[in-house]
Structures are given as structure tokens and as C-alpha cells.
Amino acid sequence: MSDPVIKGWCPGALRPMMSGDGLVVRVRPRGGRLTPEQAKGIADLSARFGNGLIDLSARANVQLRGVAEASHGPLIEGLSALGVIDETTEAESRRNITVTPYWQEDDGVQEVVRSLTEALSHPDAPATPGKFGYAVDCGAEPVLSETSADIRIERGPGGGLLVRADGAATGTEATPATAARLALRLAEWFLETGGAPEGRGRMAAHLARGATLPDAFTEIPALPRAAAAAPLPGLLPQGFLVGFEFGQMTAETVSVLAEIGPLRVTPWRMILIEGAAEAPRIPGLITDPADPMLRVTACTGAPGCPQALIATRPLAQALCPSLAPGTRLHVSGCAKGCAHPTPAPLVLVGRADGSVDLIRMGTAADTPSLTGLIPATLTANPALLTETEHAT
């Protein structure tokens, strides 16, 4: 198996990533929300300058695919006019904020997000590594405990706000007016205490290496957080939550959704259509909570990703109808496992010879139970996935 390439930085709009189908231009919606005008504008730009495909990321970003290098400049002008991108690559890299999509008008979530966004836009804001991020999860119920973040703003035991380092069991008390300042103080401490040697590093790993938090961040015990599965499509007080096959939308779909209402982008590769009272009847949407495609994950794979060793999505689509109820399948083009970094019951990973390895209850980088399976043989006989359960 070839070792995947680790970049250590996250692509943005101003610093896009080259992929097998052109540039991937990542947009971080402010406050985790696109107004109808912004969503329609992004759809139009995707159709004009990209290949008309828009991915949802695990950090609640939208990614325009298939952008030619010559089209990047005009695309950035268009995104800038929509007010969805930052002025510099530094500001874009720092503004890595995931927001609970379940916020309500008066719960203070957007107030915290606005002050954090403002604080991170200053040139002297902590120059944290590209993958370093913030989770604003202080709605009525926490929903981002499984979403990658380094600093978390959540509800504490008394119902007030708590600013907590990811990986720590304690935090410091905050208000909507002080949360951003305290979060940045924690980010400064992370950098000052050597959390990012050579410009890379994450908070939980820093703490695991023995870093001692400032006293203020050890005052209040955090509420226990049970690991939560991604929610299912359906009606919510804020609107209707819909999913997409492999978290990918067409520009046309986004355009139609924008006509219904503002779009809240979630870290579960789903969209919450604000104010929608029923499931939209639009092709390409997953609105049935029992749809087995909700239990299948596959990265871009070949030919879209230059590191991919197999075409992931056709294999995932072929195997989906045979999945046992409740079983999750992750098909990864290489051992990097971008689409699902945490363990899954069944993982298929591409190999350089075009075959796949099968890993049970693990990640794409774990030791396989079976190696060298031929995709065509698997799709012709999907029972092989479970029949060979005890083989090694």
C-alpha cells in the first residue's frame, strides 16, 4: 500500500488545492450559514468557473470542484462580491470555526460567532496551524463533540458558557461578550507553550504530551459528552435537514435549495434549509432517514483525487444495497481515509494494484483483515464482506 501524502494545511478559497479534476476552492460560510443570495451566487460561480459539483466538508465548508487555474481569479472576485471569503490567506486559515447548525435567534450562538470571527480577522490574532479550529457548540444541546476542533465554546454545568481546550475535562466560565477573547487567549497559550512545532499541531495532542493548562482553564468541569451519531434527515424546529449522496451537490440543486431559504451548512455533510416545513422534492437529495446511502461514506477517489488508487464511489454505490441494517461502510481511495477519519465497521481501502483491503472496525490506516480483494468480485458477490468475517 502506498503511503498517503500528508499536507498539514487546509485548502481555502485563496489558497486552493490542486486535485485530479482541477482546483478545489473551499469556502467557509460565515456563521455556518449562506443567505439565499450567497447560495445562489456560489451555485452560479460553480457552474461558470468549476465543474458544477459542490462538496460538503466535515468542517461544514463548501468546496467548489473542477476550477481551472485560469478561472481562479475571476472566481475569487465573484466570491468576494458575495462576502463569503476573507481578505488574506492568513485570515482565511485562522477563521476555522464550526458552528452548531441548531442555533436559535436568541441563544447567543451567533453573537459568539460574530465576535470570534471579528477577533480572528485581526492581523495579530494567533497564527495557529491550518488545521487548528474552533467549535461554537453552545446551543440548547451539544452536537459537535464528534467534530474536529481545538477550542470548544459550549454550555457548562450551570448553563453558562464554557471555553475549553479540546482534550481537557475542564474549562473556564465565559459570557457571549468574553468567549472570543478567552478562546484566543487559549490559542495564544497553545502557541507559546510549543503546541505547534514546525507550524503543525493540535490541542488534544499537546495536552496528551503533558502540557499544563493555565489555571483559569482548569476551574470548571465540563459536562460529560456522549459520542453522538450524525443526525438523520428530517424536520427540526429550525427547518428541514437533508442529506446528499457522498455529501456532494450539483450547482443546480444548490440553486433550487436557495429559493426555499437560507442554508445552514452542517459538519455531517448535510444542509439544514432554514424555515422549510417539509422535505423538498428535488432530485439528488436524501430525505428518507432509512436511506442506506446515509450509512455509506466514500472520498472523492479516482479520478478526482491524484492520490486515489481506486474509483471509490462506484464501488460504494454498488455495495450499498447489500449492506446489513445498521452497518456502516467506508470506501477510501487510499490509507489517508479523508472522508471518515474515525473507525467504521467495514472499511475498504484502495491498493496500488487496483484491488482493495478490508478492515473491520477500524480506520483506513489500520491493519486489514483481508487484502487484495478485486472490486468487481466484491460487487458481484457483496456477501464476501461478511462471509469472510473470520478469515485473516
Q: Contact positions toward ligand SF4, by CB under 6 A? A: 4, 299-301, 305, 307-308, 332-334, 336-338
Residue nearest to ligand SF4 (CB): 333
Min dist. Cβ of residue 316 to ligand SF4 (A):
12
Joined together, the cell numbers standing for residue 224 give: 460529560
When the beta carbons of 61 and 307 are compared against ligand SF4, the nearer one is: 307
Between residues 116 and 338, which has the closer beta carbon with respect to ligand SF4?
Answer: 338
CA angle, corner 134, sides to 132 and 137, nearest 5?
150
Peptide bond into 303 cis (omega under 30): yes
Q: Which of 75, 55, 69, 63 is nearest to 22 (CA)?
A: 69
Cell matching residue 240: 428541514
Residue 23 or 308: the one with the smaller Cβ distance to ligand SF4 is: 308
Asked if 126 and 3 count as a contact pair (C-beta separation under 8 A), the reply is no
- For ligand SF4, which is the closer residue by CB, 91 or 320? 320
Least distance (Å) between residue 347 CB and ligand SF4: 11
Work out the number of other CB atoms within 10 angstroms of the CB of residue 140. Answer: 13
Work out the end-to-end distance of the chain between its first and last CA atoms, rounded to an integer number of angstroms: 17
- What is the DSSP secondary structure assignment for residue 329, as one 8-state letter? E
Residue 351 beta carbon to ligand SF4: minimum distance, rounded to whole angstroms: 12
Q: Give 147 or 363: the residue with its C-beta nearer to ligand SF4.
A: 363
Please identify, using beta-carbon distances, which residue of 20 and 345 lies nearer to ligand SF4.
20
Q: How far is the CB of 57 from ligand SF4 (least distance, A)?
A: 11
Question: Among candidates 19, 29, 23, which has minimal Cα distance to 46?
Answer: 23
For residue 212, give the DSSP letter: P
What's the min distance (Å) between Cβ of 61 and ligand SF4? Answer: 15
Torsion over CA of 356, 362, 366 and 370, rounded to 10 degrees?
-40
Helix (H, G, I), strand (E, B) or coil at 167: coil
Give the nearer residue to ligand SF4 in terms of CB position, either 254 or 299. Answer: 299
Instruction: Record the cell numbers describing residue 158, joined without a space.
Output: 450551570
In the DSSP assignment, the letter for residue 222 is P
Residue whose CB is less far from ligand SF4, 78 or 333: 333
Q: How many Å separate Cα 36 from the centre of its chain?
A: 21
Handedness of CA 336, 338, 342, 343 (dihedral sign): negative
Burial of 191 (0-12, 13-18, 19+ CB in 10 A): middle
For ligand SF4, the closer CB: 165 or 347: 347
CB of residue 348 vs ligand SF4: minimum separation in angstroms?
12
Contacts of 30 (CB under 8 A, 6+ apart): 83, 84, 113, 117
Q: Chain-centre distance of CA 26, in angstroms?
A: 11
Nearest CB to ligand SF4, comparing residues 67 and 338: 338
Report, in Å, the least distance between residue 239 CB and ligand SF4.
30
Residue nearer to ligand SF4 on the CB measure, 216 or 365:
365
What is the longest distance spanned by two Cα atoms in the chain? 60
- Least separation in angstroms between residue 352's CB and ligand SF4 is 12
Minimum CB distance to ligand SF4, residue 338 (Å): 3
Three-state DSSP state, 204 = helix
**H or E stretch at 134:** strand 134-137
3-state secondary structure of 250: strand
Least distance CB 364 / ligand SF4 (angstroms): 7
CB of 5 to ligand SF4, least distance (A): 7
